[in-house]
Structure 1
């Protein structure tokens, strides 16, 4: 039998909404679920301030030599929070939310999130913001870890000590990440005589790096999954 629920989070019997805003995907679901219930590209979020009515929630800026800055679209960010707070249940707009934030901490970004969470349409009763490195460590049951995160726009190495992220100076970041790897792969295939339309390849590859080759923390077994066919009946795996 599960231990009795204790603490202020237990007052919300409907669950806790978890929101992970990345530069390649926006994922949301309920705490305790094995997989997110909603995954959308961040550039498909409605925005009243961007041309075409769609805006990217946030992006990194900087030359990779130091902590990256986070630039965001306020309208798209508000739409993302509202989408996450109401999905799956008509009553979930009053549920608490847990949000991951980039290891590249940005005070203005946190303040904007807090304002939208508590004063915006979502009307969140409680919220917790945690660095993605801390949440990654918690997901495998570790309070101490060194987390290597290769995202779409930013790669980072961040230590986690006793369930907390130390000083930002201990975080190392670089703008060479998943998207750059996609471009490098395209160039490598081109040198081998494999010609693919750049837009077509890059549309298939974002978010597929961990599907192509991943390592299980529990079993330690390395698995490979085929992504799709290449010219000449080859396979990209």
Structure 2
């Protein structure tokens, strides 16, 4: 059946949670994914940016690790906050709206089951889907084959997709993303001033976890936002003083080459070929390509079937490298997409010099609009927007006869959604199969 109510879409990122109705152009809620608790009252729970900032004596807690949820006891509060505020800060009844959530491609079966159990048993949603973020973003760009390079707060990932199928064995991720850049920004600013001067005076007696949280989510984020759009020469502190940043290091290079600039008191794992997670984002792309090459190309190319496989390999790589989607909030660092693409082109020409696809390395535009600000929003909210596209299939009805569901609804129900009735009847087996 087609649903008349728009789906609620929730994208839980390590830095922020994005939520809203699928019918909206942008999420109506963007709030901190962290929460705080009173150390003297562990049962307390504070969520929302202004609410957390108003209680600096609290401890700051996280909900996600390595890009996936680990604290299921408290993620419920995050989702309750969405339902209490999603309709212009008014509450809605979760029983009356479909729900779509995003997930990383390396999310575990255990987590999928835990998530599904909560949304059906605690929130009693009528129908639910877990959407793989890179796949939904690529579909939104109008492609079913491509490479999704997603640079978020805590994780940077590379996901090759062939004909709508994520190549999990050729997908890699590392922690050299936005938070890693923050460490370099903080290290640089501390050469100019003390950590205390980066905080408002009202937070002098704040808890140490809150100070770290505030510095990361406000001071360092503001610095990155300014450097993203402007040639920053001076950075204004909360006390209205300024520090010179003319000699600020190139932030982009820390995502490309994590070992280029040393961090005091931090020892990074040695980058080795057998550990892709020790490498920067461009090398992750090459790990993905090499893995696919090993899968697609035969050990020798003497037989006619081998030549056919070689031709197929060339065509697949040409299509993959012609459809590179660079996304994620941290990809908005000024010049980062261009730097990734240029480094990738140079490296591919060196490694694959005999192949025709080396001249075909191109990115996909998120938006057809000429306004560059739309591209920024699309990168920032790409995962949420991609999930909305899928969610809206539930509301599609044919124009021929009112109330008759279209093929889009049937496809969505058959492939991506689970109803509460089906969950109650078939249980875990259905979840494992539908959200594999």
Q: Any conservation in 1 of the 2:35–2:45 contact (CA below 8 Å)? A: no
> How far apart are residue 179 of structure 1 and its match?
0.3
Question: C-alpha distance in 1, partners of 2:215/2:35?
Answer: 19
Note if contact 1:146-1:158 (Cα within 8 Å) is conserved in structure 2.
yes
Distance 1:158 1:50, change over 3 A: farther
1:136 aligned partner: 137
Residue 160 of structure 2 corresponds to residue 39 of structure 1: no
Instruction: Work out whether 1:105 is the aligned partner of 2:98.
Output: no
Greater strand share, structure number: 1
Q: State the secondary structure of the residue aligned to 1:18.
A: strand
Q: 1:56 aligns with which of 43, 59, 62?
A: 62
What is the CA deviation profile of residues 153-202 of structure 1, one whole-angstrom value per residue up to 9, with x for unaligned ones? 11100112233323x211111111110111113334556xx436365652
Contact 2:6/2:22 (CA < 8 Å) preserved in 1? Answer: yes
1:46–1:85 Cα change, 3 Å: farther
Conservation of the 8 A alpha-carbon contact between 2:94 and 2:124: no
Q: How does 1:112-191 map onto structure 2 within 5 Å?
A: 112-120=114-122, 122-166=123-167, 168-189=168-189
Is the contact made by 1:93 and 1:124 (CA closer than 8 Å) also made in structure 2? Answer: yes
Partner of 1:15: 6
Larger Cα-atom Rg: 2
Stretch deviating more after TM superposition (81-90 or 132-141): 81-90
SS in 2 for 1:28: strand
Structure 1 residues 53 and 85, CA gap change in structure 2 (3 angstroms): closer
Residue 20 of structure 2: SS of its match in structure 1?
Answer: strand
1:20-51 CA-to-partner distances (Å, cap 9, x unmatched) read: 0011111101113221001111113789x967
Task: Give the number of aligned pairs.
Answer: 203
Higher relative contact order (CA 8 A, sep 6+): 2
Cα separation, partners in 2 of 1:80 and 1:133, compared to 1, 3 Å:
same
Q: Contact (CA 8 Å) 2:14, 2:64: kept in 1 or not? A: yes
C-alpha displacement of 1:97: 1.0
Paired with 1:84 and 1:130, the residues of 2 have a C-alpha distance of 18
Q: Pick the aligned partner of 1:78 from 71, 76, 79.
A: 76
Structure 1 Cα separation of the partners of residues 165 and 15 of structure 2: 25
CA distance in structure 2 between the partners assigned to 1:17 and 1:46 by the alignment = 27
- Does residue 213 in structure 1 map to residue 334 in structure 2? yes
1:15 Cα shift? Answer: 0.3
> Per-residue CA shift, 1:92-143, capped at 9, x if unaligned?
54211111101222111101111011111x1111111111111221332222
Match of 1:65? Answer: none
SS at match of 2:81: helix
Distance 1:45 1:30, change over 3 A: farther
Taking a change above 3 Å as real, the CA distance of residues 51 and 153 of structure 1, as seen in their structure-2 partners, is farther
Q: Which has the higher helix share?
A: 2
**2 CA distance for matches of 1:136 and 1:196?**
41
Given the superposition, is the C-alpha separation of residues 53 and 201 from structure 1 closer, same or farther in structure 2, using an over 3 Å criterion? closer
**1:203 matched residue in structure 2:** 217
Residue 203 of structure 1 deviates from its aligned partner by 2.7
